[in-house]
Amino acid sequence: MINHLMPDHPNANCNGCVLESRLIMEHELGRYLGPLEVVHHIDRDVSNNNPENLRLFECNGKHSTFHLNEKRYAKYVTSV
Ligand SMILES: [Zn+2]
């Protein structure tokens, strides 16, 4: 995870930092992300912040459900 020190950013954390993946997603969308929105890395490499590797989930619940379903599906595929 790459952090950028941007204390004036509206979504900076308590250390004044913003995750690079969130900055890139904001740039792609042309707006700030909401506090509940989660940026997922499609290839699981959190250092790969190429816009094509990023997917936005509206909340962590949907992000977690995506990962759970992915694990269930992987189990199904390996057991066939
Ligand atoms: Zn994810």
pLDDT digits (tens, 9 = 90+) for 22-72: 999 999 999 999 999 999 999 999 999 999 999 999 999 999 999 999 888
Range of the domain at 62: 3-74
Give the CA radius of gyration of the chain: 15
Q: Where does residue 80 rank: exposed (0-12), middle (13-18), buried (19+ CB within 10 A)?
A: exposed
CA of 65 to the centre of ligand 1 (A): 10
CA of 28 to the centre of ligand 1 (A): 18
Q: What is the pLDDT of residue 78?
A: 63
Per DSSP, 54 falls in state: E
Asked whether residue 79 is assigned to any structural domain, the reply reads no
Asked whether residue 10 is assigned to any structural domain, the reply reads yes
Q: What is the pLDDT of residue 26?
A: 98
CA of 60 to the centre of ligand 1 (A): 9
Asked whether residue 80 is assigned to any structural domain, the reply reads no
Q: 57 forms bridges with which residues in the sheet?
A: 38
CA of 71 to the centre of ligand 1 (A): 12
